[in-house]
C-alpha cells in the first residue's frame, strides 16, 4: 500500500475549453459587398454568402473549410469584376460601331 504526502500540493491541471484553429483567414466580405453593389450582382451575392461562411466555419473549428470558403469568395469577387468588364467592353465595342445613319 502506498501513501501520498498530503503536504505536497498537486500541480494545477490545465484545461482548454475549445481549441480554436490558429491562423488568419480573410473573409473578403467588404469586396463581396462592393461588387454586389457596383458590379455583376448574381456572383456578388454568392461571394457574400461564401464570405459569411468563413466566420461560421472558423467558429466550428473547420480551418480548411474556412480557407475553401475564403478562396471561393475571392474567386466569385473576381468573376463579378470580370463579368462587368466584359459587359462594359461589349457595350463600348457595340457603341463604336454605331453611326448616325442607323
Residue 42 C-alpha cell reads as 448574381
The domain in which residue 80 lies consists of 29-92
Report the C-alpha gap between 85 and 40 in whole angstroms. Answer: 9
Instruction: List pLDDT tens digits, range 51-73.
Output: 999 999 999 999 999 999 999 99
pLDDT at residue 94, as a whole number: 86
User: Has residue 48 been placed in a domain?
Assistant: yes
User: Has residue 8 been placed in a domain?
Assistant: no
The number of domains in the chain is 1
Residue 96 C-alpha cell reads as 463604336
| Confidence band, pLDDT 50/70/90 cuts, at residue 10 | low
Q: Which residue has the cell 500540493?
A: 9
Report the candidate in 88, 93, 80 with the shortest Cα–Cα distance to residue 39: 80
User: Has residue 5 been placed in a domain?
Assistant: no
Looking at per-residue pLDDT, the higher value among 95 and 31 belongs to 31
| Confidence band, pLDDT 50/70/90 cuts, at residue 6 | low
User: Has residue 15 been placed in a domain?
Assistant: no
- pTM for this structure? 0.72
User: Has residue 62 been placed in a domain?
Assistant: yes
User: Has residue 40 been placed in a domain?
Assistant: yes
Amino acid at each position: 500500500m502506498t501513501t501520498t504526502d498530503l503536504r505536497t500540493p498537486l500541480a494545477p491541471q490545465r484545461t482548454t475549453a475549445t481549441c480554436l484553429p490558429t491562423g488568419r483567414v480573410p473573409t473578403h466580405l467588404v469586396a463581396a459587398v462592393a461588387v454586389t453593389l457596383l458590379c455583376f450582382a448574381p456572383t456578388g451575392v454568392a461571394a457574400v454568402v461564401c464570405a459569411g461562411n468563413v466566420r461560421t466555419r472558423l467558429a466550428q473549428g473547420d480551418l480548411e473549410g474556412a480557407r475553401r470558403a475564403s478562396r471561393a469568395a475571392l474567386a466569385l469577387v473576381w468573376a463579378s469584376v470580370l463579368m462587368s468588364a466584359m459587359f462594359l467592353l461589349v457595350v463600348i465595342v457595340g457603341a463604336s460601331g454605331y453611326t448616325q445613319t442607323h
